[in-house]
Amino acid sequence: MKTSVFIGTSLDGFIARPDGTFDFLPDSPEPHGYEELIASVDAVVMGRHTYETALSFGAWPCDKPVFVLSTRPIAPPPSGAVVERLNGAPEAIVAQLSARGIGHVYVDGGNTIQRFLRAGLIRRMIITRVPVLIGQGISLFGAVDKDIRLRHVATRSYPSGLVQSEYVITESDPLERGRP
């Protein structure tokens, strides 16, 4: 299964402020590739906090099936939205979705991205850096237990000052392969 991340961060690597708000992300009309990514995926996987944030947007932002990872019940989805709660390890989630014929998933939300990345399940990341330092907040990556090697695909800059880099995950640190 192909898994992609598309996310914005402050220049110092935070996807949200400590309270979960992301008011530092610009509401820009310039296209950054999100529509193309969404058109290419079969489903979205996100955590409960990200789902609850998406519910607050007013209009539901996604026309794809959404799988919300949570051990607790989730809020009812908006009318017309296809939303299902799942729980389990990232490997089990990927296996379940693959068995359903889902071939490309957009992974969203800080904790969810971190869990999938640590499990070696993210294949592509598109990270848009906003030219602002917020000093503290929710980190995109958090701690990793080994090096994760990336191959740079492209970097684009936009008139608004945003800088977007795309990477594919190549492999873990080769020194780690021989360790138990």
pLDDT digits (tens, 9 = 90+) for 13-57: 999 999 888 888 887 778 889 899 999 999 999 999 999 988 988
Look at residue 171 in the predicted model and tell me its pLDDT. Answer: 67
Q: What is the dihedral of CA 123, 126, 16, 1, to 10 degrees?
A: -30
Domain that holds residue 130: 35-159
Phi, psi of 148 (to 5 degrees): -120, 115
99 occurs within a structural domain: yes
Phi, psi of 104 (to 5 degrees): -140, 125
25 occurs within a structural domain: no
168 occurs within a structural domain: no
76 occurs within a structural domain: yes
Place of tokens 């914005």: 8
Q: Which residues pair with 135 in a beta bridge?
A: none
- C-alpha to C-alpha distance for 180 and 171, rounded to whole angstroms: 17
82 occurs within a structural domain: yes
177 occurs within a structural domain: no
- C-alpha to C-alpha distance for 8 and 75, rounded to whole angstroms: 25
- C-alpha to C-alpha distance for 162 and 99, rounded to whole angstroms: 38
Structurally, how many domains does the chain consist of?
A: 1
- 124: domain CATH number is 3.40.430.10
172 occurs within a structural domain: no
Residue 165, H or E segment: strand 163-172
How many CB atoms lie under 10 A from the CB of residue 61?
Answer: 14
Phi, psi of 35 (to 5 degrees): -60, -40
- pLDDT tier for residue 176 given thresholds of 50, 70 and 90: very low
Phi, psi of 176 (to 5 degrees): -75, -20
Residue 112, H or E segment: helix 110-118
At 50-108, the pLDDT tens digits run: 999 889 887 887 889 999 999 999 999 998 899 999 999 999 999 999 999 999 999 99
